[in-house]
Structures are given as structure tokens and as C-alpha cells.
Homo-oligomer: A and B are copies of this chain.
Amino acid sequence: MGRPLLLLGIDGGGTACRARLTDIDGNVRGEGAAGPANIRFGLKESFEAALQATSQALEQSGLALGDVDIVACLALAGASEPTNLAAARAVDLPFRHALITTDAHAACVGAHGSKDGGIIVIGTGSVGWAVVGDNEYRVGGWGFPVSDEGSGAWLGSEAARRALWAYDGRAPWSELLTAIFDRFNDDPHAIVRWMGEARPRDFAALAPLVLGAASRGDPVAGELAGLAAAHIDVIADRLVSYGATRLALAGGIAASIEPWLTAATRQHLVEAEGDALSGALKMARTEVEARVATDSFEVQH
């Protein structure tokens, strides 16, 4: 008798990584979480985080790696870059099979199941993804600071920049900008040094401050929220033009950005059926189903 088969889903983003282990019927056996897994910023760090989250999930399940066959889908930020993706696929993993895809793709599959649809992830980074028939479409999400417009990192970075503008007298102060300046002991050079070293998640850590101030009517924060939403509207419009008329939002700041979107975007919004983790698990299950004819899995229900 072979070893029992488990499905593993990994959702790796710019700020954190989550793992979930289920049996073939979707019963959760264990979950785990670890640090960021954006392979654009470190392949080694990302896979360490993914395996650490997996170990936690296995521990919860009461099983050891050697006792089970795992079919995994790792959905990782940064995997849309071909060089990164190839490097990730070359990593030797302790699983029976491992798919590697982008976090956006898994989020799209999670949101719409087997139906056509699009997703816009607005978290540390931002990206649009659609599955329409047999085609996949990606819009934006080239990574911060090149792209990821409207994301948490984008918002935090723009807010810090405007604090410097206010210090220069190039723009008026606001409650938000004063709060940011306070964080750096009123030293513009400290802001500049921080911005020179900050990673996307460091910038994104300012986003809740911006969005909170925006909801309280801070004019600078409101302008930034509006600009972020305008970038998301453009992504939405492009996804719709590909035929993805049902759009779901995902990611840490999606709910706070949603009220700032245009009516044209909002009319396409639907609730996601599931998240990127459930999408990754669905893709792992599809992989099992595709291989079950040729591969001798021990599928226990």
C-alpha cells in the first residue's frame, strides 16, 4: 500500500506566505504561515518561507513528510517573470509533484472556480489576472517600484514622497503628511534614507495610515486613494475588454480601495468564491486528476 495523498496549496505574497494541506476531498488537515515569498526579491527566502509554512501545516496534521505523498501548487508573487519562474521550477522540492504559478493566477482560479472571470489583487503589490476560456491574461503587476500601481507599496511610497513635498513647501501639509513626518522625527533626510532602503512591504506598511486618513477626509490621502483607485480602474477596464466581465478583488487593501473605484468598475465586481489558497488547492487537485490515469496515487477519501 502506498502513502496517503495530500494536496498542498501555498499562497506567497510580498508580505507573507500561507500554506494549507487538505485531503483530496478538501478536508483541511493543517495550515501554516511564514514570511514573504515574492521570488523577485529572493528565491531562497521565498522557498524557505514556503517550506516553513508547510512544516507547520504538516505538524498540525500529525503527519511527517516521509509518510505522505504531496501534490503541491505554489502560487508565488514574482512568478510571472519567466527567469524567476524557471529558477523556481528548478528548485528541488520534497513533494511528489509541484506546480508553480503566480499568486494572481491562483487567486483568479480561487475566485471564479472553473468559470471565466478576472481578479485584481490589491495588496503589497497589485496585478490583474483573467481566465477566459483557455486563455489567461495578465495586466500590470510588474513589481514595485516599476509597476504595481495602486498597491499598498505604491500608496505608502507616494505618501512618503508627498511628505517631502510638504517639507519643501511644494505642497500643503495635511494630517496624514504630518503623521508620516512625525514617524521620522521631522527629519526629511531620514525619510529619504528610509525610502532608499525600504522594500515593498515596508512601503505597504504605511498604506493603512493613508487609507484611514482618506476615509476621514484628509485631502492628500483622499487624492492618493483616488489615484490608486484610478490605476485599478484601468486594470479592471482592460480585464473586461478581454472578456472577464466578472471581476473579484483580493488582497489586504482591496476593501479600502473599493469605495474609490468608479461605477463602471464596480458594476463588474462579484464576491470571490475563494481565495488564492483555495485556488492553489484547486489547481493541485486538477493536477492529481490529470495524472491519476498514468500515476499510481493512493487516493484516500
Residues of A within 8 A of B (CB): 81-83, 138-140, 142-143, 145-147, 160-161, 164, 168-171, 188-189, 191-193, 195-196, 234-235, 238, 241
Contacts and interface: CB of A to CB of B under 8 A. Distances in A.
A160 B164 CA distance: 25
Given A142-B188, A192-B146, A195-B146, A169 B82 contact: no
Nearest to A188: B142
5 contacts: A140-B170, A146-B160, A168-B238, A170-B234, A171-B234
B170 A238 contact: yes
Given A146-B161, A147-B161, A161-B147, A168 B139 contact: yes
Number of identical protomers = 2
Contacts of A193: 81, 83
Tell me what chain A mostly uses at the interface: helix, strand, loop, or mixed. helix
A267 B146 CA distance: 36
Contacts of A140: 168, 170
Given A143-B192, A145-B145, 10 more contacts: A140-B168, A140-B170, A142-B188, A146-B160, A146-B164, A146-B195, A147-B192, A169-B238, A170-B234, A170-B238
B81 A241 contact: no
Contact of A147 (B142, B143, B164): B164
Contacts of A195: 146
Nearest to A169: B238
